[in-house]
Structure 1
Amino acid sequence: MIKEENTTPQRIVSHMMQHDAFSQWLGIEVLEVREGYSKIRMTLRDDMLNGFGIIHGGIAFSLADSAFAFACNNRNNLSVALDTSINFTKSTMPGQVLTAEATEEHNGRSTGLYQVRITRNDDEVVALFKGVCFRTGKALV
């Protein structure tokens, strides 16, 4: 059972970011957080290129996965990914800024469903991500 304490979505996501070396390496900046929602962004770098000279798809996936994690955990109910998928619609290049916006479609007792829309700085959608999480019932902080 989740213990009752004075937590807010912003405090929980701040705690998550402090302990998330990978999101820090990506250069993620948290723009907005509220229950079941997060909006984050990052700037693409040269060391994120794949063998085709475009940004590796795993980078966009990782950005979406972080937005998903921040949205589904910010009620202080430790939640882990159960199923995820992504569709890529446009390529991305170094110097572009990607924004990921995660919205909650379903908040159940044991699962949650989230959609993440990733756009680049010209407002073009570059990927759409869907994630289902499992809620453990344990407090994160």
Structure 2
Amino acid sequence: MTMQKEELAKKIVKKMMADDAFSQWLGIKVVDITPGYTKLEMTVRDEMVNGFNVSHGGIAFSLADSALAFASNSYGRVAVAMENNISFMKKVVPGDTLTAKTDELSIGRRIGVYNISITNQDDAQIALFRGTVFRTQEYHFKENSNKS
């Protein structure tokens, strides 16, 4: 993988985060990004819990959705979610630090498929997310429109 592709991936995710008020509100930090891969972290806050005093399921889902967006867009083409699902394994409480890591299962001209594993600070898996994206013909930056 060339440094140019890694730099493009980082540039795209930096731009996406700057324009993504919800990911900012979640407190997501980009730990690592390469084409097709991202690692994100966030800490669950008190205002993120439901009536059972555990994290609302939408919090882990949203972290994974951001990981999907960043990984699938990191090649330069605009990709949008087509279908997502999540399975929860363990409860999450305020103060937990969640980490989302992507695994690119398939990337084609039009469709990408990803698994996103979400773990807590003890490295216990709390959720598994699967996302499918549609890769449009649009590009994040004009200078990359003649590439993948």
TM-score scaled to structure 1, two decimals? 0.94
Task: String of CA shifts for 1:68-109, please: whole Å, max 9, x gaps.
Answer: 100000111000000100000000000110000012110100
Shift of 1:120: 0.3
User: Structure 1, residues 28-61: CA drift from partner, whole Å, max 9, x if none?
Assistant: 0000000100000000000000011100000000
SS of equivalent residue, structure 2 residue 138: coil
- Counting helix residues as a fraction of each chain, which structure ranks higher? 2
1:106 counterpart residue number: 106
SS where residue 47 of structure 2 aligns? helix
1:137 to partner: Cα distance = 1.4
Query: What residue identity is the alignment partner of 1:115?
Result: N
Q: Give the percent of matched residue pairs that are identical in Structure 1 and Structure 2.
A: 50
TM-score (structure 2 length as normaliser)? 0.90
C-alpha separation in 2, matches of 1:90 and 1:96: 12
> Partner of 2:70 in structure 1?
70
Question: 1:123 maps to what in 2?
Answer: 123
Partner of 1:59: 59
Q: Tell me which of the two structures has the higher relative contact order, counting C-alpha pairs closer than 8 angstroms and 6 or more residues apart.
A: 1
Structure 1 stretches of 4+ moved >4 Å = none
Partner of 2:23: 23
Q: Secondary structure at the match of 2:140?
A: coil
SS of 1:121's equivalent in the other structure is coil
Q: Which amino acid aligns with 1:73?
A: N
Q: Distance in 2 between matches of 1:129 and 1:140?
A: 25
Q: Match of 1:8, SS?
A: helix
